[in-house]
Chain A
Amino acid sequence: MGGTGAERRRAGWRLAWPAGLALAACSGSQSALDPAGSEAERVAQLFWVMLIGTGVIWSLVIGAAVYAARVRPGPHDPAISRRLIHWGGIGLPVLALTALLAYGLQLMPELRAAGDGLKIEVSGEQWWWRVRYQTADGRSIVSANEIRLPAGERVELTLASPDVIHSLWIPNLAGKVDMIPGRVNRLVLEPTRTGNFRGVCAEFCGASHALMAFAVVVVTRPEFEQWLSQEAAAATGASSAELRRGAVLFEQVGCGGCHAIRGTAAAGTIGPDLTHLASRRTLAAGILPNEPAALRRWIAAADTIKPGVRMPSFGMLPAADLDAIVAYLASLE
């Protein structure tokens, strides 16, 4: 694999980034072959079975061709050839494919069965995710760019989009479902173990399609409850002069026109809700580590990090003002 060589190369390329910036993958695993959800488990199993079948069939077909062309070039009895077409071309494929179809299709109803109560509305927007939790007891809690799920429960995701087609894909948990303007699609997730995972947009959605990811955090039910009540609360007030200055600047610069921080005057709905920004695992829809330096770069030059992004860059602000806004946002746990 050449781990160290690759590491060094990567470091070299990292320097090539204009903002001296590497994208963050720290949010967790993103592999369909490392399943952590009931659907992903069944499909991974289906894949391994099919992979074995593919290996066997491929070897037989290519073996037959090599035998006929190189190992023992004919002429052979035409009866053998006739049987080869009848059985190899028709008989065996019909049997194998029928069995495979039955195996594959009987999974479907089970995989897309209804959820247990918790619903999450996810809206894919260029290029971030608007998330709203609808609990069975009627609470409705807004968040963004991160999905928390209780392990062992079937959670129904309602998927929509106001702009272009996106597709929500968390490979560790399940297959993808498109988010299509004018339509509402559904996806049911059933995580089987706790952990951190990564989801992405799988449908090409414009300039920064590559930069539209999100963190998926699977926790136990009690942890989920605790997190949800924290998420539902308004932002804690700014506790120091510097933070208060940041809060004032946030308002003065006009951030609240797009972003909401519940408990303050900021109530914009164009961009992600920032009420508990600091408690999220990533920034800018799964592409930056959630640390003040990255946040500062993002606010100063969002469009160099995410080409075409609708958020303006605020690099023209005095450094001290930027620092204050960053400090304030970093305090929003």
Chain B
Amino acid sequence: MTASADDAALDQARQQAQAARLRQVWATPGGWRYWSAVNNSEVGLWYTATAFVFLLFAGLLGLLIRVQLAVPDNDVLSAELYNQVFTLHGTVMMFLFAVPVFEAFSILILPEMLAARDLPFPRLSAFGYWCFLIGGLFVCGSIFFNAAPDGGWFMYPPLTTDLEQSGIGADIWLLGLSFIEVASIAAAVELIVGVLKCRPPGMRINLIPLYGWYVLVVAGMILFAFPPLIAGDILFELERLLDWPFFDPARGGDPLLWQHLFWIFGHPEVYIVFLPAIALLAMIIPTFAQTPIFGYSWIVLAAVGTGFLSFGLWVHHMYTTGLPAISLGFFSAASVAVAIPTGVQIFVFIATLLVGRATFSVPMLFACGALAIFTLGGLTGVMVALAPFDWQAHDSYFIVAHLHHTLIGGVLFPIIAGIYYFYPFITGRKLSDRLGRWAFWLMFVGFNISFVPMHFTGLRGMPRRIFTYPSGLGWDWLNLVSTIGAFILAAGILVLVLDVLRPKGRQPYVQRNPWRAGTLEWLTEMPGEDWGVRSVPIITSRYPLWDQPDLMRQVDEGRFYLADAEEGRRETLVTSVLDAEPMQCLRVPGNTFLTMAAAGLTGAVFIFATFHWWLATAVSAVLALVAIVAWLWTGTAIIPEKPSKPVGRGLELPLYASGPDSVGWWAMFITMLGDMAAFASLVFGYFFYWTIRPDFPPGPDAGPGVAWPFLALSLILAAWALTLAARRWNRQGLSQNLQLALPLAALLALAGTAALLAGPWQAGLQPQAAVYPATVWLLAGWTACHVVIGAIMQLYGLARSLAHRLTPAHDIDIRNIALYWHFTALTAVVTVAVLALFPKVA
């Protein structure tokens, strides 16, 4: 044996040993422990599959609607059941399919696109999934007990605040969906941090795969769009439960406030579900054109622009509510304007196809079908953006046609293109070309037969959400045709389901990178390994598999980073936000049932509250808190056995980072931005009432006064200052000062809470009496909750310090607590200014 052959043999043995260790560390548990998995491959798959089950369920509800409307005077469904069916159809499609499927799919593929081993908070993903599953089953299951929400997916009060006309279904909608929304926000936080901090070395911000950009934009939109809805849900549930009259005009409330909050969420929501679908096309089209996307900057700017503009359009859902003409003009212009960035994205795709050499396949078939349907939906969208036309089209079947064109063309078809494209990535096998074509043509033809006629049904005067209609109005045959089309569409989906579910055991695995794509996720082995990527490569191109010769071999041989798992821990790289320079070797926590328990108990809080079982609610809340604290205690801010380790190629990276260098700090910061969005929505509510009600606030002295709020503010700011001091003392090595300061800060915080609530209490404000006292209590209560949570955090920090899990060198906990307190202090300042000072100047 020559020396070099010897070396080569040694090298190979070393590689195999590394691979064995990696495989063991990332192995998916077997048996019943399979469900304790937290790795993105498993959680992402469950999440995606569950979202599709909800899609099929909501699709069946859609078919029921079409059956009922097939002929005039039909009575297959009663009015009562029909109203539940259409409410649940919209609710499930939007909240349990369209948004979650994006997050699910991103959890599944984003780490591989970024050559990361996992997302930074795998247990958070798992928690989010279990919340989604529990909340989704709760909401969907209600219809089998004739208890489903029946007030429309938009839930307009006062119909839905009237306890006689809206039963438990409304509470199921409000609490079940709030629960899921919280999980959606958690997933958004994780995805944002994932894109910002978990990229491979060298993947500077201008090299991020387009899907990553869209994840960033969409997750950012979720962060600011969902909180207004949650704020609205809180007002809503307080009115239903405690009779606080936020939407009751007899006591100063206004049903329109809900419409504003709902659509401030609801319109960005449309783009939240649409942009990820475009993101899939942005991955698929360059692959089949065999050329990089043409106009990377254009499409990224267009996506960001769409995201921003989408927050300025919500009033176009309210053109018929009698708003002044100036608002209508403004929002018409903004609504029309959003067509431009949307169009740019479509033209970038066409331009890419022109530059490249397009080959055709099932994913491309669905992509083209998507384009044909969505373009029509976009054009009818421009029509209804014009207020005068919308006055006719609004709440008619024209809108049903429009929105299904945008959602089926702009979401469902691209997602199915994505299924055909990514199926080999997930299972190592391809779906059938022949069945794919059948599915496509059935769906495409069925869709058009079903939904194109609805434009005319609507303009011929058929309103939405009617369970029956008389014959002779010119809708009969149009509706019959639509129903026939819906069944053809359903047949296409059935073919797709059969193709996905048919056993493929005897079908050979496809070769690696079967579509000859250029992006990193196609490094995956066929069949895939649990480790995600054998070693984390250095990236110098947007399409590394095309532009970096030999990359796959070098990755496989472990020539890059983190090729080994010497200490038997799950590790992934953290890099800097802009330039993706390696900063930390992040140990991510492994499998656990704790997250499932935490989700189950949190779900129990919401479900028991729906049925007003308050004792069970309280017990679940305490247990949920215990589970979450146990999860945080055992799974976060773990002090490593050594400060740093070599990650390969001579690079030594720290194992522990705190403050802005750590992923946890970013997650806290981003979460608190969402929290501030919810708070801003509540403050918006206060000033909304001020603009419409001359008696809001009733007078300079009607509120909680000045003394109590300012006492509260002083105490809360003192608690904040002590927290900051504790952070500083800890860094200086004065742990015992921290251990004195934190409990004192918690005491001050609790005293501040009491003082904050004493203001409205002493002033005798009755929240049921009128909207002003209700709003005062709401803002004070919101802030009080935040301060109490802050106190719990301070005590947690104290315990961590006493247990030597928070030390001068390892201070993640106190830095995150201090960050939380910055936002809480800001919340308190704004609350006190609004409650105590504004009545004096109003």
CB within 8 Å of B: which residues of A?
1-2, 6, 9-10, 13-14, 16-18, 21-26, 29-33, 39-40, 42-43, 46-47, 50, 53-54, 57-58, 61-62, 64-66, 68-70, 73-76, 78, 80-82, 84-85, 88-90, 93-94, 97, 100-101, 104-105, 107-109, 111-112, 163-165, 167, 169, 171-172, 174-178, 180-183, 185-186, 198, 200-211, 287, 307-308
Contacts and interface: CB of A to CB of B under 8 A. Distances in A.
Given A22-B73, A65-B353, A76-B355, A104 B332 contact: yes
Contacts of A206: 83, 159, 165
A186 B321 CA distance: 10
Contact of A90 (B158, B344, B358, B472): B344
B816 to A, nearest CB: 43
B352 interface: yes
B343 A10 contact: no
A176 B325 CA distance: 15
A81 B294 contact: yes
Contacts of B390: 175
B42 interface: no
A172 B473 CA distance: 12
Given A24-B470, A307-B80, A109 B353 contact: no
Contacts of B291: 74-75
A75 B357 contact: yes
Interface string B65-89: 0000001111100111001000000
A76 B354 contact: yes
Contact of B344 (A26, A85, A97, A169): A85
B672 interface: no
B74 A13 contact: yes
Interface stretch (B379-387, B603-611, B639-647, B739-747): B379-387
Interface in B25-57: none
B386 A104 contact: yes
20 contacts: A10-B476, A13-B71, A23-B72, A23-B471, A26-B472, A31-B474, A39-B391, A43-B392, A46-B389, A65-B350, A69-B358, A97-B337, A101-B332, A105-B333, A165-B159, A169-B396, A174-B392, A176-B395, A180-B256, A182-B249
B389 A50 contact: yes
Contact of A85 (B83, B333, B351, B471): B351
Interface in B326-368: 328-329, 332-333, 336-337, 339-340, 343-344, 346-360, 364, 368
B242 to A, nearest CB: 20
A209 B465 contact: yes
Give the one of A43, A69, A97, A169 with max B CB within 10 A: A69
A111 B159 contact: no
Interface size class of B (residues with CB under 8 A): 35 or more
Interface string B462-479: 011111111111101100
B358 A74 contact: yes
Contacts of B387: 104-105, 108
A23 B461 contact: no
Contacts, number: 311
Interface string B312-334: 00000000111001001100110
Contacts of A111: 388
A62 B386 CA distance: 24
B21 interface: no
B470 A94 contact: no
Interface stretch (B2-10, B93-101, B370-378, B621-629): B370-378
Contacts of A109: 325
Give the one of B344, B456, B472 with max A CB within 10 A: B472
Q: Is the interface of B mostly helix, strand, loop or mixed?
A: helix
Given A6-B480, A69-B368, A178-B322, A78 B294 contact: yes
Pick the 7 closest A-B CB pairs, nearest first: A175-B391, A182-B249, A210-B466, A23-B470, A104-B386, A81-B351, A30-B461
A74 B368 contact: no
Contact of A61 (B302, B375, B472): B375
A2 B350 contact: no
A93 B340 contact: yes
A23 B432 CA distance: 49
B233 to A, nearest CB: 19
Contact of B353 (A30, A58, A74, A182): A74
Contact of B382 (A76, A97, A105, A174): A97
A200 B464 CA distance: 11
Nearest to A55: B379
B455 to A, nearest CB: 9
A10 B72 contact: yes
Given A69-B358, A82-B351, A167 B466 contact: no
A43 B398 CA distance: 14
Interface of B: 71-75, 78-80, 83, 151-152, 156, 158-159, 162, 165, 249-250, 253-256, 289, 291, 294-295, 298, 302, 320-322, 325, 328-329, 332-333, 336-337, 339-340, 343-344, 346-360, 364, 368, 371-372, 375-376, 379-380, 382-383, 386-392, 394-396, 456, 459-461, 463-474, 476-477, 480
Contacts of A172: 461
Contacts of A10: 71-73, 471, 476
A153 B708 CA distance: 61
B410 to A, nearest CB: 14
A287 B375 CA distance: 38
A26 B395 CA distance: 23
Contact of B339 (A26, A93, A210): A93
B322 A186 contact: yes
Contact of A73 (B74, B347, B353): B353
B325 to A, nearest CB: 6
A47 B339 contact: no
Contacts of A112: 325
Given A163-B158, A178-B322, 5 more contacts: A26-B472, A46-B386, A50-B389, A81-B355, A105-B387
Contact of A287 (B165, B352, B470): B470
Given A100-B382, A210-B79, A175 B320 contact: yes
A90 B345 CA distance: 11
A207 B80 contact: yes
B78 A307 contact: yes
Nearest to A199: B461
A57 B360 CA distance: 24
A48 B369 CA distance: 25
Contacts of B83: 204, 206-207, 209
A13 B386 contact: no
Give the one of B80, B332, B348, B394 with max A CB within 10 A: B394
A193 B161 CA distance: 42
Contacts of A180: 255-256, 321-322
A209 to B, nearest CB: 6
Nearest to B395: A202
A8 to B, nearest CB: 11
A204 B156 contact: yes
Contact of A165 (B250, B255, B464): B255
Nearest to A72: B354
A279 B651 CA distance: 92
A106 to B, nearest CB: 10
A55 to B, nearest CB: 9
A68 B249 contact: no
Contacts of A165: 156, 158-159, 255
B347 A89 contact: yes
Nearest to A179: B322
Contacts of A40: 392
A15 to B, nearest CB: 10
